[in-house]
Structures are given as C-alpha cells and as structure tokens.
Amino acid sequence: MASLTSLISSPPSSTNNIFPKRTSQLSAPIGRLQTLRKSQLAVTCKSSNVLAAAAAASRRDVLLGLGAGLYGAGAFVTDPFSAAFARPIDGPSQDVCKLATPSPGNPLQIECCPPAMAGRESKPFQFPSPSEPKRIRRPAHLASQDKEYVEKYKLAMKRMKCLPPEDPRSFFQQAKVHCAYCNGSYVQSSHTNLGLQIHFSWLFLPFHRMYLHFYERILGSLIQDPTFALPFWNWDHEDGMAIAEMFKDPESPLFDGLRNVHHLPSNKPLDLRWDRVTEDKPFERIRDDNYARVYELMVSGAQRRLEFFGPKYRAGDPPPAGGGGTSERLHNMAHLWTGGHNQQFGEDMGNFYSAGRDPIFYVHHCNVDRLWNVWKTIGGFRFDFDDYDYLNTSFLFYDENSDLIKIKVKDVLDPQALGLEYEDRPIPWRNSRPVPTAANAARTATAAAFGGPAEAQAAVGPRFPLVLEKVTTVMVPRPKKGRTAKEKSAASEILVVEGIELEGDKVVQFEVVINDDPDNPSGPSNSEFAGSFLNIPHVHGNNGHNKFVTGLRMDITELLEDIGAENDDQIQVTLVPKKSDGPVTIGGLKIEYSS
C-alpha cells in the first residue's frame, strides 16, 4: 500500500481506489494556504513536521475544475423521520472515499480520507481493561487553573500536531475524521450509492463519543499518561459559558486562529441564541436565555428518545440532513458562535468540514457527551434506544496504536465501561422552566378558548409550501384536546414543522412560538417559545446540488400546560425568521404524538 504522502505527491492512478478520479487539478488559492499556516502553526516542533503537515494539508485542499460535477446529479429528498430498512449501518466502505467539499457549488474540494484504509483488516473494539485508571473529564474553566494539567494537555496536543501528516493519529488526520464522516467522503459499505452522514440522526451522540474516546487515548498515549482526559466546555453553567482561558493563548497548541475574535474576551458567554449580529447583550440576559434553552432541549422538549437523539437512520436510508434531535440542536450554536466570522465557510468551528481543526471542538463535544449522561438521570422515558440496528451500527477509527478499529454503537452506551467519568457539576438550568407571558398567564386562569374553530382560521392562513421571508402565523389544529395525565404519559404532543427545504451549505435559522404576539415574539425564557431551527453549513451526502428537506420536532406537552392551551382545538404557531444566508421553504405544520 502506497503511503499517503506518496499518493499526494504523485498523480492519482486509476487503480488507486482511495481517491476518486480527478479530472483537473489546480493549486490551492494563496489565501487558503495562508489561513492554514496562521491558524495551525502556533506550535514549533523540533523537526519541520508541522510545516510539512500544514503544507500537505494545504496541498490536499485542492480545487477541482468540475466542482459539483463529481457527484451524480438528481434531486434527492428524504424524510429523515422514517426508516425504510431494518438493518444496521455497517460503517463506511473502506474501498470508496471521495473528496469532501464544504459546498457542492464551490470548486473547493478537500481530501479528508484516512490513510491506507482500502483492503485493510479492521480489529473489533476492545473495552479498556478494568485495571486501567479512570479518565476523569473536568470542566475546562476549572482545569484552566490547574497549571500542571494545562501543561500536560498542551504537550499532548503539541505532540499530536508534530506527528507526520500521514500518521493516522496526527492532528491533521484526526481533524479529517470529522470531515470525512460529514462532508461527503464516505459511502455506506452495504450501499455504496448512498453517502454516510453521522449528524442529524440517532447516530450523532454515539459517533461523537467514539471519536472523543480515540482522540483522548491518542493524546494520553503521546504523553504516556493513561489518566489523561479531555476537559469539557461547561457552557450549561454560568461559570463555564466563556471559552476557557487555556484556549486563548495564541502561542499554545490549544489555540486556533480561526475563531470569532468578538467572542474571545474573557467572560464573554456562549450565546445559545446568538443572532449573528448582536454582540452587546448583557451577561445575565444570555445566561438566563441559555438556561431556558438547555431546559427546553434537555427537559420539556426532550421527554422521549426520538426527540432527544434524532431520527432513526439505518442501512439503505439516504443520508439524513438538518434538524436532528434536541441533543444536537443544543450543540449547534457553539459551532457557529466559535467559528471565524469572516471566513468563507465559517472555518474552523462554523463548518463541519473544518470543525475538527479547532482543539476546542473536542472540548465542546465532551460537554455534549456529558449532557447525554445527564439527560438519562432526569427520569421519565429518558433511556437509550435498544433497537437492534442502532446497537449494531459500526464505524471505523484509528486508535492510539494506529490500528484500524471497528466499533459499534452498543460499545459506547456505558461510559463506565469505557473508563470514563465526568466531574459532577451543578445543573442550574434544571430549574429554568420558562414562564408564560402575561397574556397567557391570564388565560391559564380563565381557560378561555383561543382563536376560534380550526376551519375558519385555516381558510385565512398562508398556503404551503411557503418561502419563509417574514414573520408568519399559522393555525394548527390539534387532533386531541384536553388530554388526560394518562394520555400524556403514554405519548408526548409534538409540533412538527415539515418539509423544511434549504441549501445545506447555508446558515439558515428561524424560531417558533405558540399563542404569542407575532409583533413581539417571545424568547426562550417565556413558555410560548417552542424551539428553533439552525443549519450549520455541511454537505448533504452524495447529493449534487445540496438542497435538502428536513423537519423539526418540538415536544410541546409541557408548553401547552404552561400557556393554558390544553383544551384548545388549535394552536397559533408563529415562525420567526432570523438572519440566514439562504432561502428556506416550509412544507407545513402538524401535530403528532410520540411515545
């Protein structure tokens, strides 16, 4: 097997099946080379390995003359909420790996394929031996004060960045893992006509847990420390909302030059409802809205697994796109907020193809992973899926010994078995149940009917599909009203925004409020706020023009109680568009029940 370096420097031959055929190849634009150097050469290595790695990475960001022509054409519409085939996804095909792209319409193509995978035998995953010490992940803002830990972490990251670029454990190869699984490199091994996507479905949480597991063990092995653990970005607590100090030193291997400079000053909290414009919201406002959003996406809106984990995704299904479960929607804004605000594709964090290039990506995902554990402690119907296909879905990763490992979803459902623990932290958002606006608080007391009969309102409502350009109000009939406690415990009431059509490489966002004043729609701290949609730019599998259709599911059972609308025949839903980079069309709104 030729090494990756030789494959890069020699023109790809038609017999090599790691790369697709390239019809024309230009050199990467100068600006691109410069950004990579500036952001990723913050470390000096004894050898010139880092330079070589960055140069190789840049060479691999090749411009393809044909752009989107590489992929098959044809519109490609999918309902991610229905699983067509009862079969587990058997990981990516080892024989097919395509150039990835941040945007099919753009000629920039990126080589995200791992080295030497074709024809290679993978080993089955082995749990760490119980005699291994535990790895305890701590909040990054507290770990920042532990000098010894920070030095260790920096040394491990530095060594990772200094590994030769063809080494699967190197920083560059590890960053590519995310790109390959997200931006169109891989196809399903059992259905090579279908792209593989690890976001926007029930695979989101387990895939990222696996990724962190191998990443962390590689770092630990590079400093011979079996206790080494990544920190977590504790953005669900007011003390941890800002980017932790250890990530801010431009000389440190934990730094990334492609972050939004407005968000670096100390104590600038991650704003889970950032509108991409406002930078001067008071801390308390952001904190309270964040808590309310975490409450919505972990508690009231996440009572059942389908809503929390996201749609089911099985072998033979087209790659899911957009939407995702509340666990994923909760995590999206940190990408957009952290990423470069003046980069073409939001690099690094603001685009899935480049997110793995920022060390903070892994720290952000540790918190997402931690919140998965926390969710299961909240009670009710909050369990992992036990679906056969889910449990047996597998992925491929290189481990700390550079062995290719096949790992299954069922291998990562118990963090204990992985030798993993999170330091306990208070969860202040647990008590942040939103409160109704004054108008609805009054209604709760009087229980008056809202808005009149469904038929009368439907006639004057907007027609679907509608292009969402302005605040739009729609009456949505409820199939059942006045549900008993027993009915509510048997099934949640879900508001579904269906047929959301957009372009995958564009930021698109809107919010949804219920029985609220359309001229003054509520924020997350009010019960009327049902949820929001945000698309982080990505590529939708093997679809040539990157339009996709998705849905948004919001559990409104508790919301309806809080606004006194349980006995109404219909609800008034208002869609509030937010600053987006591309158009969005809405196919319709309906109520569904989820058990």
* Binding-site residue positions for Cu cation: 178, 199, 208, 331, 335, 365
Catalytic residue among 352, 529, 533, 548: 352
- CB nearer to ligand C2O: give 113 or 355: 355
Kindly name the residue from 365, 450, 529, 533 that is annotated as catalytic: 365
Least distance (Å) between residue 361 CB and ligand C2O: 7
Could you confirm whether 545 is annotated as catalytic? no
- Cα distance between residue 97 and residue 394, in whole Å: 17
- List the binding residues: 178, 199, 208, 331, 335, 365
Catalytic residue chosen out of the listed positions 237, 331, 364, 540: 331
Distance CA 21, CA 350 (A): 29
Angle between helices 360-377 and 326-338 (to 10 degrees): 160
Closest approach, Cβ 349 to ligand C2O, in A, equals 8
Residue 512: DSSP 8-state:
E
Separation CA 91–CA 16 (nearest Å): 21
Given the residues 141, 178, 237, 263, select the one marked as catalytic: 178
Name which of 410, 372, 414, 415 is nearest 393 in CA terms: 410
| Residue that has been written with the tokens 């590519």 in this structure | 176
Query: What Å distances lie between residue 16 and 7, 27, 59, 442, CA to CA?
Result: 9, 21, 18, 70
178 or 478, CB closer to ligand C2O? 178
CB nearer to ligand C2O: pick between 50 and 210: 210
Residue number with CB closer to ligand C2O (357 or 443): 357
Q: Of 141, 191, 208, 237, which is the active-site residue?
A: 208
Asked if 421 contacts 136 with a C-beta cutoff of 8 angstroms, the reply is yes
Minimal distance, residue 208 CB to ligand C2O, in Å: 6
Q: Which residues of 497-517 are buried (b: 16+ CB within 10 A; e: fewer)?
A: bbbbbbbbbebbbbbbbbbbe
Is the CB of 434 or the CB of 504 nearer to ligand C2O?
504
Q: How far apart are the two ends of the chain, measured CA to CA in Å?
A: 50
CB of 247 to ligand C2O, least distance (A): 16
Helices (H), 296-354: 305-309, 326-338
Q: What whole-number distance in Å separates Cα of residue 529 and Cα of residue 518? A: 12
| Nearer CB in complex with ligand C2O: 137/443 | 137
Catalytic pick from 141, 191, 199, 540? 199
What distances in angstroms separate CA 567 from CA 27, 300, 459, one per listed residue? 64, 19, 22
Q: Could you tell me the two tokens for 37?
A: 């150097």
Is 352 assigned a catalytic role?
yes
Residue placing its CB nearer to ligand C2O in the complex, 294 or 586: 294
Lookup result for tokens 């959003």:
293
* Residue 536 Cβ vs ligand C2O, minimum distance, rounded to whole Å: 8
Clarify whether 263 is annotated catalytic: no
Active site residue 199: yes
Between CA 170 and CA 439 the distance in angstroms is 57
Q: Which of 191, 237, 263, 335 is catalytic?
A: 335
Whether 538 is catalytic is: no
Which residues touch 9 (CB under 8 Å, ≥6 apart)?
A: none
Q: Is 335 a catalytic residue?
A: yes
Closest separation between CB of residue 199 and ligand C2O, Å?
Answer: 6
Please report where in the chains the tokens 């060479």 appear, as a residue: 59
Shortest Cβ 526–ligand C2O spacing (Å): 28
Q: Which positions touch ligand C2O (CB under 6 A)?
A: 178, 182, 199, 208, 331, 335, 352, 355, 365
Residue 444 CB partners (closer than 8 Å, separation 6+): 436, 562, 563, 564
Active site residues: 178, 199, 208, 331, 335, 352, 365
